[in-house]
Amino acid sequence: MVTDSEHRGFTAWLPAAARPYALLARFDRPIGWWLLYWPCTWGLLLGGGVHEDWPLLGWFLLGAIAMRGAGCVYNDIIDRDLDAQVARTRSRPLPSGAVSVRAAWVWLVMLALVGLLVLVQLPPFAAGIALASLLPVAAYPYMKRITWWPQAWLGIVFSWGALVAWAATRGELGPAVALLYAGSIAWVIGYDTIYALQDVEDDALIGVRSSALRLGGRVRFGVAGFYMLAVACWCAAFWIVRPDWVALIALLPAALQLGWQVATLRPEDGSDALAKFRSNRTTGLLMALACLVVGASL
């Protein structure tokens, strides 16, 4: 079992007083902000923004790091009692007592201010779309209490950057970005179902719901289905942007990487589930390169 609070990487070099706050924002686990960042790059690159709007890629990265951190802090404030009952999460700063709830709220506000700095770099239309994400973000921690599919809600939240980035570079929304967004939601459901395999026993004991529990012994088929839906939506989005069969070949590396995850997944092995989940950083990069190839022709 890999715990959710680890003093590794640059976190280990921080002063002792700062480490709990870095862990609270998951700065020791960059996979989260990579997964939040990649849909932003897809929207900008597929929308043709590589020519004039490429500086936004840097701003989106800063925003992904800050807002993923703020989201983790908010989630831990809401879930601190549940986290104390799960082996993987009971060492997090809030349930362990390393950070007080009041201090966590202050830290959340500080991270949100960094997000505000990024927000003002966007055109008004894109900034409005970004602000609209706050409601689903605020609702996410409660989803595991009311639905078997909190992963679907996470998909809505973690894919939102595709809409923001497309709007920033194109000034509108349309069928292509809607399909890109839908495919990203399916991708998130797939990889977060894999992630949830680590907690199935504890979740069942304390009454927390997840897609991994709902799928049970069919989890491999479920993940395969969501990944297939993701690739199908992305193919359709690419076709709208550039109706050329050659453009679809650009998606092949990402599709093969997703296929490898499903074929080699060992649902009963928590360490393997974590490794497969983390490998989606590579999927996001491959998808970004595909969007660059197709969008650069606009």
Least confident of 2-11, 57-66, 273-282: 2-11
Residue 111 makes CB contacts below 8 A (sequence gap 6+) with 25, 66, 67, 69, 70, 73
Instruction: Reduce the DSSP state of residue 76 to 3 states and report it.
Output: helix
Residue 175 pLDDT level (bands cut at 50, 70, 90): very high
Report DSSP state, residue 12: G
Q: What pLDDT sits at residue 2?
A: 47
Q: What is the DSSP string of 183-220?
A: HHHHHHHHHHHHHHGGGHHHHHHHT---HHHHHGGGHH
The pTM score is: 0.90
Domains and CATH numbers, the chain: 16-295 (1.10.357.140)
Residue 203 pLDDT level (bands cut at 50, 70, 90): low
Query: CA 121, CA 155: separation in Å to the nearest integer?
Result: 25
Q: What pLDDT sits at residue 6?
A: 56
Q: What pLDDT sits at residue 101?
A: 93
pLDDT (tens digit per residue) in 101-128:
999 999 999 999 999 999 999 999 999 9
**Stretch 43-68: mean pLDDT, rounded?**
94
Query: CA 91, CA 87: separation in Å to the nearest integer?
Result: 8
Q: What pLDDT sits at residue 1?
A: 46
pLDDT (tens digit per residue) in 131-150:
999 999 989 888 888 888 88
Q: What pLDDT sits at residue 205?
A: 60
Query: CA 146, CA 150: separation in Å to the nearest integer?
Result: 8
CA-based angle 18:23:26, to the nearest 5? 130
Are the C-beta atoms of residues 35 and 191 closer than 8 Å to each other? yes
Torsion of CA 25, 26, 31, 35, to 10 degrees: -20
pLDDT (tens digit per residue) in 208-246:
778 888 888 899 999 999 999 999 999 999 999 999 888
Report DSSP state, residue 1: -
Query: CA 188, CA 285: separation in Å to the nearest integer?
Result: 15
| pLDDT(16) > 50 | yes
- Residue percentage of the chain with pLDDT more than 70: 94
